């Protein structure tokens, strides 16, 4: 088993390339030498944030952890030196069958995070892993490789989740999710919230508004201190994208949103936020297209991509924040989001406005074209927000939210056109962001209720983030008949089980996120038959 140096997806200049190789070699590759701390007796266990795995494919996976200072004193034993961390991987939880081990560097410049890229693994296999430094040992994590892209697969179980706001409740949904026997988790954005607090808060985050690199690191550490979240990360690999609150509410590309201190240099703030996101997620070093230093000059953190699960499914993970144009038609030209009367907004249908950016849009269209040749049963688009039209004005005219796909109508039409022109097989769109469960159909024309159904959509309620309630939901469903179900009260996650014949989706919700002990139930259950773009409610 080895891990080669990760290289950029672009073709950078030589000095940038050296930076990339430096970061990748130190932060992701196993090493054969030992740095400090290897035999040290520690005063505390630095693995208090647990372990995680992600970015899987059929031969490789990323293993993550971060070394933390003593919670009681705030003191770190690591000073400013980089630290050697021992890793172990085996076929069994006792680490006796096919045990392999090595060392990897936790860089002080990356908050002592580890992104170990293990390659040349067997496909479609479960593995157990753990880390050790001195006499301290992490919890044991379980991960898996995906089936070979040409393998015939009988079944896949995936959960999708989003929007875990600390102030609004406890992340107890993850305790239940860890019992779902999942192969993979799709996390669709808002892993943290940058706010200082909330009205009627269940609990308050430490640190106030999040602006500095230290602030972002602390907020991730706070969220990751939740034992249920740690347990779910240790259960299986995650595919992860972000939304706005990992940086600033409603930001668009390099334009600020509407939260925090507006006197800050937003480009610099975004760079700090992106660095902290990388430090705390099981991402490959190749995501840093121009190394950490490049983020400060506006370089991208490449998180969109595609992965195949045998011949059963393609997964397309999107990024609709980093490359988008600014929202339009807010009152007084304000930043961020708003509800817009489209009859008073000339820019609404501007064909040049983009949500994904030109390069990602082109990549996605090319990927859909390639999907015609691979004959996989399902094509799953995992992205941040709700895709279908949500008109909140009853009767004639529209009142649409300009921060999601509704606010980028031309971009949405390009995507549905790409699905149709490439004859995309069984599209399934999964989103988050809106703090509500919505289930329905992807229409050929979002503004024509009688246009063709070309796919299905499931948008999740969020782990804790509050929503408006169901008092007006029946009328809104009637106004948007392409959706067959919605709920704006309960919190939780979705579980999708894929087979060659159908998918079944369960909306799993807890009884009260304000309580540390909760019960779980199925709010609703749906099925979609392969070859038929029609959602059927089962329960």
92 domain-assigned: no
HSE of 438, CA atoms in CB hemisphere, 13 A: 29
What lies within 8 Å, CB to CB, of 362 at 6+ separation is: none
469 domain-assigned: yes
Residue 28: the pLDDT is 58
**Given a cut of 70, is residue 19 above it in pLDDT?**
no
403 domain-assigned: yes
Q: For residues 282 and 213, what is the distance between their CA atoms, to the nearest angstrom?
A: 19
Domain span including residue 331: 146-537
Over range 300-320, report the average pLDDT: 98
Cross-strand pairs, 31: 103
What lies within 8 Å, CB to CB, of 331 at 6+ separation is: 338
Percent of the chain with pLDDT over 90: 83
* CB 468, CB 488: distance < 8 Å: yes
Three-state SS for 184?
strand
pLDDT tens for 170-215 read 999 999 999 999 999 999 999 999 999 999 999 999 999 999 999 9
54 domain-assigned: no
The 10 Å CB-count burial string (b at 16+, else e) for 398-434 is bbbbbbbbbbbbebbbbbbebbeebebbbbbbbbbbb
pLDDT tens for 484-518 read 999 999 999 999 999 999 999 999 999 999 999 99
112 domain-assigned: no
**What domain count does the chain have?**
1
pLDDT tens for 335-375 read 789 999 999 898 888 999 999 999 999 999 999 999 999 99
Residue 22: the pLDDT is 52
**Given a cut of 80, is residue 291 above it in pLDDT?**
yes
At residue 376 the predicted structure's pLDDT band, cuts being 50, 70 and 90, is: very high
pLDDT tens for 29-48 read 555 444 455 556 777 899 99
388 domain-assigned: yes
Phi-psi sector, 350: left (phi>0), alpha (psi -120 to 50), beta: beta
CA angle 298, 303, 305 (to 5 degrees): 135
140 domain-assigned: no
10 domain-assigned: no
Residue 533 belongs to domain with CATH number: 3.60.21.70
Residue 334: the pLDDT is 80
At residue 80 the predicted structure's pLDDT band, cuts being 50, 70 and 90, is: low
The 10 Å CB-count burial string (b at 16+, else e) for 228-264 is bbbbbbbbbbbbbbbbbbbbbbbbbeebbbbbbeeeb
**Given a cut of 70, is residue 169 above it in pLDDT?**
yes
């Amino acid at each position: 088993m080895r891990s080669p140096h990760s290289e950029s997806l672009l073709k950078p200049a030589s000095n940038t390339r050296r930076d990339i190789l430096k970061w990748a070699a130190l932060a992701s590759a196993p090493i054969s030498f030992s740095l400090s701390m290897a035999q040290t007796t520690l005063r505390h266990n630095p693995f208090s944030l647990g372990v995680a795995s992600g970015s899987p494919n059929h031969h490789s996976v990323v293993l993550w952890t971060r070394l933390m200072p003593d919670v009681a004193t705030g003191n770190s034993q690591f000073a400013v030196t980089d630290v050697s961390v021992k890793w172990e991987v085996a076929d069994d939880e006792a680490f006796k069958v096919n045990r392999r081990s090595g060392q990897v560097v936790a860089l002080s410049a990356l908050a002592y995070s580890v992104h170990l890229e293990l390659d040349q693994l067997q496909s479609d296999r479960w593995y157990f892993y753990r880390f050790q430094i001195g006499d301290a040992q992490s919890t044991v994590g379980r991960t898996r490789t995906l089936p070979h892209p040409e393998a015939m697969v009988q079944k896949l179980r995936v959960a999708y989740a989003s929007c875990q706001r600390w102030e609004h409740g406890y992340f107890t949904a993850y305790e239940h999710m860890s019992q779902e026997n999942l192969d993979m988790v799709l996390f669709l954005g808002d892993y943290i919230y940058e706010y200082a607090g909330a009205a009627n808060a269940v609990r308050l985050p430490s640190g106030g508004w999040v602006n500095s690199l230290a602030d972002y690191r602390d907020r991730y550490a706070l969220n990751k201190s939740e034992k249920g979240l740690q347990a779910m990360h240790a259960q299986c690999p995650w595919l992860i994208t972000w939304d706005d609150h990992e940086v600033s509410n409603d930001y668009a590309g390099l334009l600020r949103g509407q939260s925090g201190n507006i006197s800050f240099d937003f480009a610099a703030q975004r760079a700090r936020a992106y660095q902290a996101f990388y430090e705390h997620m099981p991402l490959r070093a190749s995501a840093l297209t121009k190394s950490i230093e490049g983020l400060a000059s506006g370089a991208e953190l490449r998180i969109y991509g595609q992965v195949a699960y045998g011949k059963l499914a393609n997964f397309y993970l999107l990024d609709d924040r980093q490359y988008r144009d600014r929202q339009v038609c807010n009152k007084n030209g304000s930043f961020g989001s708003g509800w817009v009367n489209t009859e008073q907004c000339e820019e609404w249908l501007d064909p040049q406005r983009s949500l994904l950016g030109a390069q990602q849009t082109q990549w996605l269209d090319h990927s859909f074209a390639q999907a015609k040749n691979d004959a996989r049963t399902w094509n799953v688009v995992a992205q941040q927000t709700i895709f279908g039209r949500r008109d909140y004005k009853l009767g004639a005219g529209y009142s649409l939210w300009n921060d999601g796909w509704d606010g980028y109508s031309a971009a949405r039409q390009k995507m549905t056109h790409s699905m149709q022109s490439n004859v995309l097989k069984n599209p399934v769109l999964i989103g988050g962001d809106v703090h509500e469960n919505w289930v329905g159909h992807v229409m050929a024309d979002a503004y024509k209720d009688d246009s063709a159904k070309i796919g299905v959509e499931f948008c999740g309620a969020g782990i804790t983030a509050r929503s408006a309630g169901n008092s007006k939901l029946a009328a809104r469903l009637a106004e948007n008949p392409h959706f067959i179900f919605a709920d704006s009260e309960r919190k939780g996650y979705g579980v999708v089980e894929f087979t060659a014949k159908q998918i079944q989706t369960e909306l799993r919700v807890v009884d009260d996120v304000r309580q540390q002990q909760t019960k779980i139930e199925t709010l609703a259950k749906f099925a979609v038959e392969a070859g038929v773009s029609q959602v059927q409610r089962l329960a």
